Chains A and B, each alone.
Chain A
Amino acid sequence: MSRLGTITRRTLLVAAVAAAGGVAFGYYSYRKPYPNPLDGELGEGEATFNPWLKIAADGKITIIAPRAEMGQGIHTTLAALVAEELDVTLESVTVEHGPPGHVYYNEKMTEEGPFPFWDESLFANSMRGAMGVAAKFLGIQGTGGSTSVRDAYERMRLAGATAREMLKDAAARRFGVDAATLRTAGGKVADPASGKSFGYGELAAEAAALPPRDVALRERKDWTLLGKPQKRVDMPAKVTGAPIFAIDVRLPDMLHGTVRMSPRFGAKATRVDLSKAGKMPGVIKIVPIETLYGSGFGIIAANTWAAFKAAEAIDVDWGAAAYPPDDAAIAARLAETLDRRDGAALRDDGDVETAFANATPDRLIEAAYSAPYLAHATMEPMNATAWLRDGKLDIWCGNQGPTLVRQFCAEAAGIAEEQVSVHTTLMGGGFGRRIELDFSLYATLLAKEAGGKPVKVTWTREEDMTHDAYRPAAAGRFRAAIGADGMPVALDMNIATPSILKSILSRTFPSISPGGPDRLLSEGAFDQPYAITHCRVTGSEADLSIPTGFWRSVGNSQNAFFHECFLDEIAAKTGLDPVQMRLKLMADYPVAAKVVAKVAEMADWATPPPAGRARGVAFCISFGSWVAQIAEVSQTPSGIRIEKIWCAADLGTVLDPEIVKAQMMSGIVFGLSQAVSQQITFADGMVQQGNFSDYDALRINQCPEIEVELLDNAPKMGGAGEPGTPPAAPALANAISALTGKRIRSMPLNREIDFA
């Protein structure tokens, strides 16, 4: 319980208050405190059973999947949770994101706290419970942290099951029989005795008015949809080019726009001349924008192209940056932070200082690692469409937090939240970028100037890339002491990176400062299941005010690279096999050991690869999922080629194996892209990359073959969207080291080696 001391009083206090609140309100009000947002918007003949389900008199069933569909297949799996219990097929239902609602709060998103996922101590578990209750009281509807399925697993099955029983109760009254004798299948309630049945639509209005009963959920062995691959509900629209994204919204008399914001974060225009831009054809209005996200100008025009041209033509000087303005200054700030050695050690086992004091120099390994800022670069650039008229605001956007969008846009428009309708569309990628509110706010501000007409505000790719909430840069200094058997007896990792949470709060709730230790600084390193007697992992917060945000897998995205490459250095120095060394260190964690053993088997690790090829391994548990990967690389005349990635993942119960495999594949390509070439660099306070020509991602010709297998040993369910990403970069770097003898300690790797 050495960690207990590092949890600040404030965190405990918040958790205690939240827990007390949960107890005082009791289970029922804890589960059903918020109104059903569907009540206010039912169509003709529609009845709603709970916030996740509407059934119309004509039999049309609508399932609400209140999480952002950014490609991860979440609408399909969430709908399957309801459909499984409701005894309907996915083909027979319509799936919608639905309106914003506090009832759709995400309990899992705030749950993890400063504990490793595998920490089952009473303390860790009671803190998790308390944070989950706190999430409910905050009522934030969010998608992130690979939590959607875990959060919905019980709630949405219950939504289907209670509705099914209400339908049976209604049918029982009509048949004059006991509901327990009735059967449900294919959207009907049947009475086996009479052979008659009623469609759900015929019963809906009556059934929805009945009180819900307590109902037991079906056992896993009885599932017909869950656990089996489903056809994605969004696939037909996505192969026919249907207008499903926010950027595809079309409204009567719609205007178009864009923004040109200060390229130095937090700086304002010091001189501006709008005369040329304002006179360009198609330009309707140029308006200043002033928000916590940034300052600059919005352009309203007849079409997007005219808006883009005018934005470019604005003649403006911007103020100076209030942060280290270039890469050298940023690196210096990270180095100073490491020098201070005053970060919080979320892992501090044994006696690290004594262990190193006693180690002889030939048993020591030291190394310094780094990782750059990264942009999300979602395929669909940031955009939103806003329409403000008669005191009401409608906003269409792809977003990961609709209740926050509603709150912030209401404030920007100067109207009450009840007057705002948020229409959450499908998203052309999210990766954490679309939890930010900037694009929705800017559209709202332009709508105020659009004379009651709707305005679609689309960012150029350059604006998007230079105004992101970046994955923060990080630097680490690590040392290890090796025992007589070649195994590490002491490990000391100090990682410096800015706080993402502070950055997000500074542009959303600037009066709040986060309490307690920040797990994001060192996650992916402090929380890994390796038994090393003397082990300390410190997260040191660097003072860098460049905006940062959640980037697919967050802290794990760089810390797994640091941790797993450094472990590999230890193995290389002592001549241990990297797989065997890991298996020994994780012997107390069989779930971890099994994925490592599995991936070694898949890659036939024991048999050396053909000449000119080499392999590297890496492991990371993140978001509750245990993932091991092996990369195989080859040397070609034009550089390193990534031939193949094997991936073994254990998420515990898997609801849709094909969707989960697709997420692993996607996470791997995302991780390889950052490893190979991605970096956001700074000069004169400004981001230097502007488009895919200088910030690219893996292309099909560089993409390796990928093989994924899923295990089911984990006792708790893990997430799918992010855990594929962290091991990819270190597996690749370790393979390159095995092939070339070159140990690359900073990303992107192409600074030091060429790729084919």
Chain B
Amino acid sequence: MRLNVNGRDIDVDADPDMPLLWALRDLAGVMGPKFGCGVAACGACTVWIDGQPVRSCSEPVGGVNGRITTIEGLSANGELHAVQKAWIELQVAQCGYCQSGQIMSAAALLAAKPDPTDAEIDEAMAGNLCRCGTYPRIRAAIHRAAAIAKAGG
């Protein structure tokens, strides 16, 4: 079957029941989305399908039709996305394992709500677990990314 990942068509030979996450990681070699729980409980595997954040561990690959964006496809023309810039500026990541998922969720939030409130951040990000406890910096970095994006960066 054919997947469109970060603007590229990739043919994978997958059982349609296989979660998108494993098709991406094991078959297509796209390693940005991470395996954390396999049951949509941690957000580490978050990718976008047609711009909407989904938990790829719980999405059978056979049912995926849209364009998939992973963290590898987030930055355009070699320039980092505003969320990634803010993440570096505020030194958010610790172990980093949850962060592809955090960043994909945060970038989707900002696409929908360019200047989110704390309550909107809570709602959009509560599904993304971070065992290193980087939440205070994640919250600050989302606000910072909103400012960077507004300033055209």
| Chains A and B form a bound pair | yes
- Also in contact, A379 and B98, with CB within 8 A (given A665-B136, A705-B136): yes
A-B contact pairs, 30 of them (CB 8 A): A71-B95, A73-B94, A232-B93, A237-B96, A238-B96, A239-B80, A243-B31, A245-B34, A245-B97, A303-B26, A303-B27, A305-B19, A305-B22, A377-B131, A378-B95, A378-B131, A379-B98, A429-B97, A430-B95, A461-B36, A669-B132, A691-B37, A691-B39, A691-B41, A696-B41, A697-B131, A699-B135, A701-B125, A703-B135, A706-B136
Residues of A within 8 A of B71 (CB): 240-241
Partner of B15, one of A237, A281, A304: A281
**Cβ B131 vs Cβ A235 within 8 A:** no
Give the interface residue-count category, chain A.
Answer: 35 or more
| Interchain CA distance A234-B97 in the complex, whole Å | 12
Residues of A within 8 A of B26 (CB): 256, 303-305
Task: Render A299-316 as a binary contact track against B, CB cut-off 8 A, 1 for contact.
Answer: 000011110100000000
Task: Render B68-95 as a binary contact track against A, CB cut-off 8 A, 1 for contact.
Answer: 0011100100001000100110011111
- Also in contact, A305 and B41, with CB within 8 A (given A237-B96, A461-B36): no
Within 8 A of A (CB), among B31-63: 31-39, 41-42, 44
Q: Is the interface of B mostly helix, strand, loop or mixed?
A: loop
Chain B residue nearest to A725 (CB atoms) is B133
A5 in the interface (beta carbon within 8 A): no
Task: Render B118-139 as a binary contact track against A, CB cut-off 8 A, 1 for contact.
Answer: 0001110110111111111111
Residues of A within 8 A of B98 (CB): 379, 428
User: Nearest chain B CB to A629's CB is how many angstroms away?
Assistant: 14
Task: Render A688-709 as a binary contact track against B, CB cut-off 8 A, 1 for contact.
Answer: 0001110011111101011000
**Cβ B99 vs Cβ A658 within 8 A:** no
**Cβ B95 vs Cβ A429 within 8 A:** yes
| Interchain CA distance A373-B93 in the complex, whole Å | 28
- Counted as pairs of residues, one from A and one from B, with CB atoms less than 8 Å apart, the total is 175
Interface centre among B26, B95, B129 (most CB of A within 10 A): B95
- Also in contact, A428 and B126, with CB within 8 A (given A239-B87, A700-B138): no
| Interchain CA distance A662-B135 in the complex, whole Å | 11
A528 in the interface (beta carbon within 8 A): no
Which of B's residues lie within 8 Å of A, judged by CB?
15, 18-19, 22, 25-27, 29, 31-39, 41-42, 44, 70-72, 75, 80, 84, 87-88, 91-100, 103, 121-123, 125-126, 128-139
A279 in the interface (beta carbon within 8 A): no
Partner of A692, one of B15, B22, B41, B139: B41
Residues of A within 8 A of B35 (CB): 247, 304, 381, 458
**Cβ A428 vs Cβ B34 within 8 A:** yes
Residues of B within 8 A of A637 (CB): none
User: Nearest chain B CB to A664's CB is how many angstroms away?
Assistant: 10
User: Nearest chain A CB to B55's CB is how many angstroms away?
Assistant: 12
Within 8 A of B (CB), among A276-308: 281-282, 303-306, 308
User: Nearest chain A CB to B65's CB is how many angstroms away?
Assistant: 20
User: Nearest chain A CB to B134's CB is how many angstroms away?
Assistant: 7
A380 in the interface (beta carbon within 8 A): yes
Chain A residue nearest to B86 (CB atoms) is A239
Residues of B within 8 A of A378 (CB): 95, 97, 131
User: Nearest chain B CB to A110's CB is how many angstroms away?
Assistant: 25
**Cβ A666 vs Cβ B133 within 8 A:** yes
User: Nearest chain A CB to B43's CB is how many angstroms away?
Assistant: 10
Residues of B within 8 A of A131 (CB): none
Residues of B within 8 A of A73 (CB): 94
| Interchain CA distance A673-B135 in the complex, whole Å | 13
Partner of A428, one of B27, B84, B92, B95: B95
Interface centre among B26, B42, B84 (most CB of A within 10 A): B26
Task: Render A356-391 as a binary contact track against B, CB cut-off 8 A, 1 for contact.
Answer: 000000000000000000000111110000000000
Partner of A699, one of B96, B129, B132: B129
Residues of B within 8 A of A231 (CB): 88, 91
Given contacts A235-B87, A281-B15, A303-B18, 8 further A-B contacts (CB under 8 A): A71-B96, A73-B94, A248-B31, A305-B19, A662-B137, A691-B39, A699-B126, A699-B135
Residues of B within 8 A of A461 (CB): 36-39
- Also in contact, A380 and B34, with CB within 8 A (given A238-B93, A238-B96, A305-B15): yes
Within 8 A of B (CB), among A412-442: 426-431
User: Nearest chain A CB to B84's CB is how many angstroms away?
Assistant: 5
- Also in contact, A244 and B36, with CB within 8 A (given A303-B26, A377-B131, A665-B136): no
Residues of A within 8 A of B136 (CB): 665, 703, 705-706
| Interchain CA distance A250-B123 in the complex, whole Å | 35
User: Nearest chain A CB to B143's CB is how many angstroms away?
Assistant: 13
Residues of A within 8 A of B135 (CB): 669, 698-700, 703
Chain A residue nearest to B124 (CB atoms) is A700
**Cβ A304 vs Cβ B22 within 8 A:** yes
Partner of B38, one of A235, A460, A670: A460
Interface centre among A306, A658, A665 (most CB of B within 10 A): A665
| Interchain CA distance A447-B87 in the complex, whole Å | 38
Residues of A within 8 A of B91 (CB): 231-232, 235, 658, 662
- Also in contact, A700 and B122, with CB within 8 A (given A247-B35, A377-B131, A692-B41): yes
User: Nearest chain B CB to A97's CB is how many angstroms away?
Assistant: 14
**Cβ B95 vs Cβ A380 within 8 A:** yes
| Interchain CA distance A189-B34 in the complex, whole Å | 45
Residues of A within 8 A of B131 (CB): 377-379, 429, 431, 670, 697
Interface centre among B25, B132, B139 (most CB of A within 10 A): B132
User: Nearest chain B CB to A755's CB is how many angstroms away?
Assistant: 14
Interface centre among A231, A379, A669, A706 (most CB of B within 10 A): A379
Partner of B93, one of A234, A243, A247, A699: A234
| Interchain CA distance A281-B99 in the complex, whole Å | 33
**Cβ A239 vs Cβ B93 within 8 A:** yes
